[in-house]
Structure 1
Amino acid sequence: MEDSSAVVEKLAFGRKLGGEPKKKAVSRSVKAELQFLVGRIRRYLKEGQYAQRVGRGAPVFFASVLEYLAAEDEELGKLLAGVTIAHGGVLLNINLALLPNKAAAAAGSNKSPTKSAAKSPK
């Protein structure tokens, strides 16, 4: 018969109960310092069934090649000039003092639009 501590460890699935809190997950794009999303490229590689298996390094390498081509190839850079990559680039860090007050924004949204704004300019 097993003692109760062994049962508790099995129920914890590799983590001790009451231990340190679980760390926040870090994406593979952040680890590789890439703007292109590695997880999304992996999903497309698997869904496209280009091969039976997709290794761990394949989407990272593919994302880095795509990012390099988008940055360095002039024709491709012109083609992708207006494209916005979801969750890509630098995160906004705006000082809270520069943002408008929530109370002022809520009061401004309650006003009805004026007649001049409702007309279309023709």
Structure 2
Amino acid sequence: MAFDKKSKSRSARAGVIFPVGRIHRHLKEGRYADRISSDAPVYMAAVLQQVVEEVFKEAETRKDNKATKRLVPNNILTATRKDKELNDIFKDIVIREGGVPRSEKKEKSEKGKKSQE
């Protein structure tokens, strides 16, 4: 009875999308500690995945035109600046091609009223 075992990546075993092996390699090469646990890159991949899901969820709600399927860098910038916790995480981050965070719709309507007067 020879079982044909297929190799399974650590990401697949952990149930995450981010590459656990690559994160482990970067942790070792970065010399952050003398020894890196095998659980550390799995945990870090899960945390990174959770943060990215949160950013994308917020950016999806901030998107102007609901018909478009594409998120542009400005959607991500606006989402991170409007959410308090995400803003704390990304306070020193510059998003390329992000532009200026968009204001809320009622602020736009107030601006339009002032220009009409």
Q: Give me the TM-score of the superposition, normalised by structure 1.
A: 0.44
Write 1 or 2 for the structure with the bigger share of helix: 2
Bigger radius of gyration among the two: 1
Q: Give me the TM-score of the superposition, normalised by structure 2.
A: 0.46
